[in-house]
Amino acid sequence: MERVKVIGLALLLMVVLIGCGNGNDDVVGPNGEENGIPSNGDLPEPVEDLEPMFEPGEVAASSCGDFEVKVWELDTGKMLHSFRTGLIYVHDFSPCGSKVLVRSQVWDIEKEEAVTKFDEHIERVDDGAFSPCGSIVVTKSDNYAFMWNAKTGETIKEFELEDARHTKAVDFSPSGDKFFFVNKYREIIVVDRTGEKQIIFDKHEGSIWAGAEFSHCGEKIVSGCRDGEIYIWDPESGEVFDKFENKEGIYSISISFCGELLACGERTDSVSVWNIETEEVISTFDKHDSSVHNVGFTSCGEKVLSSTSSLSPMSEGIPLLWEVETGEVIFEFDEHTDASTSTVIYKGIPGE
């Protein structure tokens, strides 16, 4: 029986390697396995009953240097939850909004406790995202990206990276059939759900510090680098739909749910909102005191949540919610005891 199992596993490995094809050998695991060959078999089933706790754009989470994560109701400015994690970056909400990804840990919001811890990273985690079904998490650090089981913390796939530190770009498509991460500062690798590389987008000349994300429909990816260069492109082919430049330089970007607007957190203390079709700035917000490291639209696209970073020594780091049309501040989320490090808005269950 053991001999049959060994032969079966060997045949399975051969099939996977053949299926990877040529041209994929620059995405490898830390032990040399091509394309991050699965380490624990089939992909996990959905772990969440996908009944949303909130409406899209209704809540946000923020983290700060005091190791606390707070969850806010954006309509009222009310703090719903606060818990100390020992970690200083929150990256994503789970699809139904019941959990948040903090570095490489999954925290239950209601229980205010870590329910899954992923321990394979030996470096600081820069970014991460849940899959739309909630069963998979992808996180990246300086030299590795990991695909792991959100419920058990077991590694599914590993990818070795090169010069990817401090880049904020991990995201799943709304359908969950692909995701991407940054490599070599200037490349974005699009990978399918099984871990096979699909395309490499390498048009950026500067470092992709501003990050990247899928549009809400999944048909486009928007990516930006800190010198202000912004691309909107096809995740299937890498074809560039549009390119424009924010001359102030940028540290963060976000595309609205409707796909018509783009918010850019600038290296100055401002946020500019662009009409993508006309490539014109329709609004500028200048109420921050340092470079803007986090931006995100509410679901309607009428409001933006933005914040500076505790990495900026002169910054108060208070997340601000403001109206795009008028630039008026609606709420200041100032209950942290230290400057904010990251903010993220709940986007709802993809496709709904």
Query: What are the tokens at 249?
Result: 């330089």
Question: 29-50, pLDDT tens digit by residue?
Answer: 333 333 333 444 467 766 555 6
One-letter amino acid for residue 315 of the chain: S
Q: Which of 186, 160, 128 is nearest to 27 (CA)?
A: 160
Distance (Å) of CA 212 to CA 34, 151, 238 = 25, 26, 14
Question: 227-247, pLDDT tens digit by residue?
Answer: 999 999 999 999 999 998 998
Instruction: State the Cα–Cα distance between residues 321 and 87, nearest whole angstrom.
Output: 24
105-108 β-sheet, strand order: 90-93, 99-102, 105-108, 113-117
Domains delineated in the chain: 26-345 (2.130.10.10)
Dihedral over Cα of 164, 192, 224, 255: its sign? negative
Instruction: State the Cα–Cα distance between residues 310 and 336, nearest whole angstrom.
Output: 12
Q: What is the structure's pLDDT at 106?
A: 97
> What does pTM read for this prediction?
0.84
Q: What are phi and psi of 14, to 5 degrees?
A: -65, -40
CB atoms within 10 A of CB 6: 10
Span 259-267, mean pLDDT?
94
Q: Between 306 and 16, where is the model more confident? A: 306
Strand-pairing partners, residue 90, are 102
CB atoms within 10 A of CB 37: 17
The residue to which tokens 């754009």 are assigned: 57
Q: What is the structure's pLDDT at 85?
A: 93
Q: Which of 293, 203, 308, 280 is nearest to 250 (CA)?
A: 293
Q: Between 336 and 313, where is the model more confident? A: 336
CB atoms within 10 A of CB 31: 9
Is residue 2 scored above 70 in pLDDT? no
Q: What is the structure's pLDDT at 310?
A: 57
CB atoms within 10 A of CB 45: 9
One-letter amino acid for residue 316 of the chain: E
Question: 283-321, pLDDT tens digit by residue?
Answer: 999 999 888 999 999 988 999 999 987 555 556 788 999
Q: What is the structure's pLDDT at 48?
A: 52
What DSSP assignment string belongs to 46-115? P-S----SS-TTSEEEEEETTSEEEEEETTT--EEEEEE-S---EEEE-TTSSEEEETTEEEETTTTEEE
Beta-strand (E) ranges in 276-349? 280-285, 294-297, 303-307, 320-323, 329-332, 340-345
Pairing verdict, β 79-84 and 250-255: unpaired
Q: What is the structure's pLDDT at 35?
A: 36
Instruction: State the Cα–Cα distance between residues 97 and 99, nearest whole angstrom.
Output: 6
